[in-house]
């Protein structure tokens, strides 16, 4: 599931800790994406600009999940015998 963006002073971002675990696991090693934002005098770390997160989600994360799902469905369909019930009668 794609995370909703937060906006602070015009900066659109997501926080790593608020993403689903599968996405956190993939992004945690991508130090080049992280920014820090000063919100009400506190530094908030492990933020990712939404444009970078959106690009990663659409072009990396989502494309890796979809083919696996399609492969499983096609393998199950291939293994099914059509008209099996009709042949028994």
Of residues 7, 83, 84, 72, the one with CA closest to residue 39: 7
- Which token pair is 27? 């992004």
Q: Report the SS3 class of residue 72.
A: helix
Within 21-83, where are the H helices? 21-27, 50-56, 62-79
Q: How do residues 28-87 score in pLDDT, each as one tens digit?
A: 988 899 999 999 999 999 999 999 999 999 998 887 755 555 555 556 556 665 555 555
Please tell me whether the overall predicted TM-score, pTM, comes out greater than 0.85 for this model. Answer: no
Boundaries of every domain in the chain: 6-77
How many Å apart are CA 47 and CA 17, to the nearest integer? Answer: 9
């Amino acid at each position: 599931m794609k995370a909703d963006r937060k906006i602070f002073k015009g900066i659109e971002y997501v926080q790593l800790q608020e993403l689903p675990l599968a996405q956190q696991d993939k992004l945690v090693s991508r130090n080049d994406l992280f920014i820090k934002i000063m919100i009400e005098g506190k530094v908030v770390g492990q933020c990712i600009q939404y444009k970078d997160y959106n690009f990663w989600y659409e072009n990396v994360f989502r494309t890796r999940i979809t083919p696996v799902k399609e492969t499983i469905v096609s393998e199950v369909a291939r293994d099914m015998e059509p008209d099996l019930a009709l042949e028994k009668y």
